[in-house]
Structure 1
Amino acid sequence: MLRIERLRVIGLTIMPTFLVACGGLGGTDGDSSVSRVVENAIENQVFVEGGEFELGDVGRPDGSAYVTLVDHSRPAIEVKVDSYSISRYETTWGQMRVYYEATGRLSQYEESPFKHRYVNSPTDDLLSPYFRNKPARVPNYGEAEGYCAWLAQETGLPFALPTEAQWEYGARSRGRRVAYATNSGQVENDPYLKRPTEYVDTSIRPSGNTLIHSSLKFERRPVGSYPPNSLGLYDMTGNVAEWTQDWFQKDYYQHAPRTNPQGPLKAINPESPEKTVRDWAGHGDHVGGNATVFARYGVPVSASGNGFRCVVNHPEPIN
């Protein structure tokens, strides 16, 4: 186990608006890769001071709801969350590959249809959908939860998936009344994936402040390609949707405790258990308010295609 006192802080090979192909956020060369991923996981944690905020769809200035297709995000409720840290980036293909190899989990997918889509070998090719610093889309909820648990084992720190409340509190820069987790609180969508698939040019550099299009295309931008929100968190609007640890309940906000809500204690429907996925802009679903930070839906734990980031549940900064 790599205990925290043995870890040294290292820098990332990251430009402000675009990740470069060398080094970066995790490699695939055995123990040194494990050390690098673990060290970067700690270095990339952003401390979020706890406080009270209104969880849920707080509504537009005229009083209308942002999310109009469903009422899962209403009523907004006043809650308190303790201080924690959260990764500034979504977990990448390179980091996931190191985890799969270190834990012997690649064999789980040898004969699986997921093998070549969601458990893929990362590449140094910036133009590939599997460039090592692009956000991973995992084959199921268990691998997202497992990755954070693996970091906890390697560091001795309480890594975990974020709760819904932690995710939204961070996305909204400690509960600000903003609908998008961007540098401005508004969307300037990169048209990168909007054109017909055959004309998508992966060599075009990012523009705007988020990537929402499109749910039909697998391609995404490297993590950190767009400006962060005011806390320094990247891609909490767009790129990929993200798992949280909470079991999904449509009317949860009507029953949630007011201090550190963590979702229902168990799956509402044990025959089809669902966890809550946030940032539906990451699926390209940008109608009816689904691109806002308030959108929340239940997704079967066996479902593939979502990304994630980890938190550290510790009341003080860890880096």
Structure 2
Amino acid sequence: MNKKIFISYAHEDEVWRERIVKQFRVLPDIDIWDDRRISGGEKWFAKIEDALKSTKIAILLISADFLISEFIKKEEVPRLLERHEQEGLVIFPVIVRGCLWRRVPWLAEINARPRDGKPLLGMSEGQWESELAAIAEEISELLDETSESLEPEPVEVDSPKKEQPTFEEKTPDRPSPGGISESSVTIGQVTRSGETGRDNTAGGAGDSGTVSGYAQLELPTAGDKWTDPITGMEFVWVPKGCFRMGSNDGEADEKPVHEVCVDGFWLGKTQVTQSQWREVIGDNPSGFKGNDRRPVESIAWNDTRSFIKSLNRRSGYRYRLPTEAEWEYACRSGGKDEGYSGGDNPDRVAWYDENSGGETHPVAQKAPNGLGLYDMSGNVWEWVQDWYGDDYYANSPRNNPQGPSSGANRVIRGGSWYWSASFARAANRRRDGSGLRGNVLGFRCVRVHDPSR
């Protein structure tokens, strides 16, 4: 596995290069490359170019000398930014000496370390050593994830047509006004919604049919629920269907509106909460605490992979992030023409800047959408599986699209407590780097459908 780090620095900052390299020397599987590895007589430019092409993460030691270096400006930075945009290379600026780095447009857009943007020079020895150790730890973890996420796993799309399901039938309860049953949820088993008919939403695509070699199959229906036995996460069945994805009234990357069809899938009823995260990972990175029913936030896309891998291993079930198409279909209550998740009134369904009070809120306090899903508009942005492509809609396949094959950023959906209501629209699209964390970023999971369990 390639775990190569490229260090770009001005020679005036040699002491900081050596200090950060020292932090990585205890990790023999990580290959640190800088120009000190060029031997006498070698073609130094070709060596640097080869290293730039093969690295997974680039550490930039930022100072005034770095910013004014002609070689760095003209040769190293353009190549790194090109790989960042085209291949998702992770760029990791470290502010070593005071300078006007926030005035450099490309640099101001990237999260720098230390987190407060203060330079390492000027800190006590104990402080800068602790900062460098934390930076090395973060980069090491990011390398583990990046080695996999630069070649994303194919999304396993649930295809129930050929599967023989088993259900435990429940006595139907009185349906709630939204059409979703108030039945109790059975852990590790499907609880039927109590509805008497199939919900053939979005163009009449149902989830039952005759399959060669089988009688009529009985598959989950809208409103059926299932609960993960480890975390207590509740999942709602989203029936398959087709819908018009995007918006003609939105931004450029929401166009063109195009037909998309998705297979049925189990989606988390709420965003992953802080208590659910802690049960799997053991910590709570959230900025807003005080109620474990708040959504976990300050979560990078790479962090969601760690959570899902751990949960898969512990539970024996399989989970993943939703695709962007699955997310929007579910957000629109099964592909309906809704401005927000559950209707056109954001105050009814979403926490956003004008009603949030400047913080996240416990999940499921606003009204659910037509499928019984909460907070798909507002509270925190939600990571999805797909790479972001601003022109992807023009080339998207009709059936179960999974996004571009590569990219620099991952898609986030749904808006948040900090952003205005327009960003909580069902069709709105945004993106962030896989390693970016913030108190507006969270997620919810898909459970891969396995009718034998």
The answer to whether the Cα contact below 8 Å between 2:323 and 2:386 also exists between their aligned partners in 1 is yes
Structure-1 separation of matches of 2:267 and 2:394: 26
**Which of the residues 292, 298, 302 maps onto 2:425?**
292
Aligned residue number for residue 301 of structure 1: 434
Greater fraction of residues in helix: 2
Q: TM-score by structure 2 length?
A: 0.47
* Equivalent residues, number: 231
Q: Give 1:220 shift.
A: 1.3
Checking the alignment, whether the CA contact within 8 Å between 1:240 and 1:279 is kept in structure 2 is yes
Distance 1:217 1:176, change over 3 A: same
State the SS of the aligned residue for 1:40.
coil
Q: How does 1:251-262 map to 2 (within 5 A)?
A: 251-262=391-402
Q: How far is the alpha carbon of 1:98 from its aligned partner? A: 2.0
Listed as ranges, the matches of 1:49-88 within 5 Å are 49-57=239-247, 59=248, 65=249, 67=250, 70-88=251-269
Give the ranges of 4+ consecutive aligned residues of structure 1 lying more than 4 Å apart after TM superposition.
Answer: 214-218, 315-318
The two structures, once aligned, show a CA RMSD in angstroms of 3.0
Residue matched to 1:147: 307
**Which amino acid in structure 1 is aligned with residue 275 of structure 2?**
G
1:210 Cα deviation after fit? 2.3
1:45 aligns with 2:235: yes
CA contact (8 A) 2:300 2:434 kept: yes
5 Å-filtered alignment, 1:1-319, equals 9=187, 38=230, 40-41=232-233, 44-57=234-247, 59=248, 65=249, 67=250, 70-101=251-282, 119-120=285-286, 129-182=289-342, 185-189=343-347, 208-213=348-353, 219-267=359-407, 273-286=408-421, 289-305=422-438, 306-314=441-449
Read off the aligned partner of 2:311 and give its amino acid letter: L
Is the alpha carbon distance of 1:313 and 1:282 closer, same or farther for their aligned partners in structure 2, counting shifts above 3 Å?
farther
Residue pair 1:281, 1:292 contacting (<8 A) in 2 also = no
In 1, are the aligned partners of 2:274 and 2:296 still within 8 Å (CA)? yes
Could you say which residue in structure 2 is the equivalent of 1:24?
none
Once the two structures are TM-superposed, the CA of residue 317 in structure 1 deviates from its matched residue by: 10
C-alpha spacing 1:187/1:164, structure 2 compared with 1 (3 Å): same
Whole-Å separation in 2 of the counterparts to 1:72 and 1:276: 12
Q: Deviations over 1:157-211 (max 9, x none)?
A: 22101100111111001100111003xx02252xxxxxxxxxxxxxxxxxx4421
Q: Residues of 2 paired with 1:150 and 1:137: CA distance?
A: 18
Q: Secondary structure at the match of 2:254?
A: coil
How far apart in 1 are the matches of 2:349 and 2:299? 28
In the alignment, which residue of structure 1 is the partner of 2:144? none
Contact map agreement 2:281 2:310 (CA 8 A) in 1? no
3-state SS in 2 of match to 1:79: strand
* Aligned equivalents of 2:355, 2:437: Cα separation in 1: 13
Distance in 2 (CA, whole Å) between partners of 1:136 and 1:247 is: 22
- How many angstroms does 1:263 deviate by? 0.7
Shift of 1:309: 0.2
C-alpha separation in 1, matches of 2:346 and 2:339: 13
| Alpha-carbon distance between aligned partners in 1 of 2:452 and 2:316, rounded to the nearest angstrom | 15
Larger Rg belongs to? 2
Structure 2: runs of 5+ lacking an equivalent: 1-185, 189-226
Report the identity percentage. 30
- Long gaps (5+) in structure 1: 1-7, 11-34, 60-64, 107-117, 122-127, 190-207, 268-272
Contact 2:361 2:379 in 1 (8 A): yes
What is the rounded CA distance, in whole Å, between the counterparts of 1:285 and 1:171 in structure 2? 18
Question: For each residue in 1:244-303, what CA deviation from the matched residue of structure 2 results, as whole angstroms up to 9, or x when unmatched?
Answer: 010001011111111110111122xxxxx21000012454233xx422110101211111
